[in-house]
Amino acid sequence: MLTLVWATLPLTAGGVLAEATADWSTAPRIVLAVLAWGAWAGGLLAVLVPRPVGLTALRAVAPAFLVGAVVAAWGVGSVGGVAAAGAVVATAVAQVLVTRPGPAAAAANASAYGDELRFPLRVPPGLFAGPVPLARLALAGAVTAGPLLLADRRIVAGVVALVVGIPLGILAARALHSLSGRWAVLVPAGFVIVDPLTLADPVLFPRARIMALRPAPAATPLTPDGLDLRLGASAGGLELRLDLPAELYRTRRGGRATTTVRTTQILIAATTTGRLLAEASARAIPGTGQTASPPPTSSSPS
């Protein structure tokens, strides 16, 4: 569905953008068209060939297209009519589809190694209250402001925008990309948590040490040594219980400092907990009401 919607965006939204910029000077209009086509082509590539970096691009481009469609529809007003409304609807649908679990799971597992399954962790909801929209705005501004100002012969302003925008855009892109590499991973040896927002390094929990991997309601109590890595997410909670304390390096202050933590209980929030738990059970990782058991082995005839 996302592939179809994204592929048709030039038809549903492109015309409205062209109409909204019809009275612009030729050079800025061409530059904006090139940037828009480039962003669309990059997004289409990310849909067809999923990768974590492509997921980051999609998560940045889709809301930019939605905002652009709203502004363009407002600009053409009643002149655009149905076409303007269609552009807004199409880009809104694309934005909703990008945020669904499917694209994140496809991007994560496209770069998986061997016999492992990656399950994206939920984006902390608090980030949507400011940091994520601001990072997306900064990235969009860094990409567009300088070239458009230079094309409009505002040389000084364009140079300043480039000097300020390039490092700002890099920082924003890195921040957004960190959200595309947060996974719970099932590997042959057990269970791995990869979360650069909370852990300095990926942590492997061997199957033999896992007592249970089970659903965790929002109000799940923490043990004295428990560690909550959900970052405010209330849905998709999972509880990992261990028989012996595991040593983790918890990141703090934006990853610039770490704290060593020993714990037997870890809470995380994944996007597709049902499938994760089903796959974990198939790999002999115990869940609710189960006890640890060795992985299935093949037996040879005597």
Q: What is the pTM of this model?
A: 0.85
Between CA 184 and CA 121 the distance in angstroms is 7
Mean pLDDT (whole number) for 151-166:
94
Tokens for 61, please give them: 């481009």
Give per-residue pLDDT as tens, 101-131.
999 999 999 988 888 999 999 999 989 888 9
57 CA to centre of own chain: 9
Burial of 211 (0-12, 13-18, 19+ CB in 10 A): middle
| Amino acid residing at 74 | W
Tokens of 211: 């007592």
CA distances from 245 to 223, 233, 240, 264 (A): 12, 24, 12, 5
Give the model confidence (pLDDT) of 43-100 as tens digits: 999 999 999 999 999 999 999 999 999 988 887 765 557 888 889 999 999 999 999 9
Q: Is 69 exposed, middle or buried (0-12, 13-18, 19+ CB in 10 A)?
A: buried
Sequence-separated (6 or more) residues with CB below 8 Å from residue 260: 247, 248, 249, 250
Average confidence score pLDDT of the chain: 89
Query: To the nearest 10°, the Cα dihedral for 71, 75, 80, 83?
Result: -10
| C-alpha–C-alpha distance, residues 83 and 133, integer Å | 27
Where along the chain do its domains lie?
Answer: 2-180, 196-282
* 239-283 pLDDT per residue, tens: 999 999 999 999 875 556 788 999 999 999 999 999 999 999 999
